Chains A and B, each alone.
Chain A
């Protein structure tokens, strides 16, 4: 597996992946399907919160994007909703992040608006998470995303103190169990050690350059908002992969190991006129995700159990 990893990667990039991305029904393309879904989910969120200031967003577009989010959330709900926490808990902060910061413009969009906590926790009714419909209310049709939310979701991004609800207490628990994302430097060494320990023979080794990238993407989110739920929301899509990893442990993990820009939207990146640069930039953060799914294995399964207890119990 290790030996011919490089070649197989190339093959996938060339033929296999592209087809799979567009045909989510294929059995083995489960991973690319979830990847694509998460990419679309993130693009949708960005679209909802990024429109030209002072102009009224097109209602038609907002509704269609909203329906897309609803549909994906419905799917996620059906698949189970425990996954985001794994990821949030297992994201190590990375000192490298400074160097990569400029290269991740997409996440700066993601990080600024109050993101929906996706299917954050099973105790929370999903419908109540899905508030963007309130965007549509003509009275509150406004340009500032922070005002649009009512209901149980989200403190606005600058509020570093999460409200003391079940989420925050759950998160506190998790933080106790895991490296706290706030102390980036301290954790870096530890997580690096973790990485090498946890995945000695995994595909990450084949493509080491993908690793710092993905981690910077995550850590960038975490830096300004320690312990905030938006982190879990924005990285929520990883959860599909982690679940798949657990459920389909026999899947060839090299699936995850593709090139940043060809992976999530294989077809997309081939479209030169659609401002390839921009696409590449925005996609890079998402597509770097595939490298991380192995990280949950760092966590002891009993820890996961404990987290689940906390989440379900709270």
Chain B
């Protein structure tokens, strides 16, 4: 299945009107993409960026003349979700950066999504309008009240077609629920509640109620000097609305059952792998810190990403992961400098494909990795403008570690650590992936599925 990943196109979030143009020289840092998320049908794709903006892409309907253009995503709507704020009590800036976006299951013609920065979660409603009413009795075309003396007859207003307009309106603002930085939000399968996790606490909210949330996990010690572990990510089970998992900076996963008690400080299951003594180093704890956790679509497995590996856990086995894949093991000898330049704290995310058979995660040098769980094959691909022309087929890349270097191989020493792919998303049913590489969004699709094996 790794054979035919082809360029779907680069979408640069510089300004939405010039989407199709290929080169930008000046790319302000506010455009750095900080999250990517498909909606439940895959028709829409949302990105959030450092500047607090949300850009929604919509998939174009299939065109018969140009089969290769099928699945092309174009900008649907752009809006400013969060603004920078200042916390006057702490004298600290609250960044506008969008940490996470989650789509709500669609329940009517409108789409809804949650977006969050470090502190505040917002619920947005995205609606389309392609008709407008005309012929009011008391208002003129611009909406101003008519002079009543001119109204002599009664008419029925009619809806006239107009250019499609996408309206985004804030529906709810869930503020003041978090003292620390929100790292995850997750909508429950009951479609009525969602949770938000910060470094030390997880809150449960009702989607319609903004002034109240319930604290379901609190790991803040009485004395902050005793603090050695933080929550790094959290997610609801896709089918059981009472179950959720959260990961920690010590590499463990805790599955909690909200039926057990209102405050889930005591986990139901603890998933933890004993440290491999042969790989012990100063950085053991940091590289074991889980940066992302995702339930499989089936709900049977959990996928976690730590600094060097991605792991698949069976919900029924707590002692060790069922599968461990090395993402970039060649960095193991470079941990000290990666610590010094802070790269070791990068939070790579991970994703399942629609059938839970392939997993994907990012790496450095604009590389991303895919692992086929059945064949155990893996591939390194590169998100670059050269490779993402329409119809171009992505060539697998290889990082060589000492020894012989084949043509096209890249050596570990020449990896660019400023080009990192932290955020990736996989279409819920099809083989379409979205890769965020700093300020570029790459969309690839697998066209010639398994032909090239």
Contacts and interface: CB of A to CB of B under 8 A. Distances in A.
B180 A271 contact: no
A272 B224 contact: no
B334 A60 contact: no
A273 B337 contact: no
A267 B249 contact: no
Interface in A22-79: 22, 24, 36-37, 39-40, 43, 47, 54-56, 58-61, 63-64, 66-68, 70-72
Contact of B91 (A54, A267, A270, A273): A54
By secondary structure, the A interface counts as: helix
Given A43-B339, A143-B92, A271 B286 contact: no
Nearest to A59: B199
A274 B337 contact: yes
Contacts of A279: 337, 340-341
Interface stretch (A132-140, A184-192, A228-236): A132-140
A274 B339 CA distance: 11
Most buried by B among A21, A39, A56, A133: A56
Contacts of A18: 333
Nearest to B338: A274
A55 B227 contact: no
Interface in B87-109: 90-93, 95
A268 B91 contact: no
Interface stretch (B317-325, B388-396, B414-422, B439-447): B414-422
Given A55-B92, A55-B93, A134-B224, A63 B334 contact: no
A206 interface: no
B329 interface: no
A94 B262 CA distance: 65
Contacts of B41: none
B230 A43 contact: no
B119 to A, nearest CB: 10
A60 B307 CA distance: 14
Interface in B397-439: 412-418
A141 interface: yes
B225 interface: yes
Given A63-B227, A267-B334, A273 B92 contact: no
Closest 3 A/B residue pairs (Cβ) = A268-B337, A133-B225, A59-B199
10 contacts: A60-B230, A64-B345, A70-B228, A134-B225, A137-B225, A138-B179, A141-B92, A143-B91, A274-B343, A275-B341
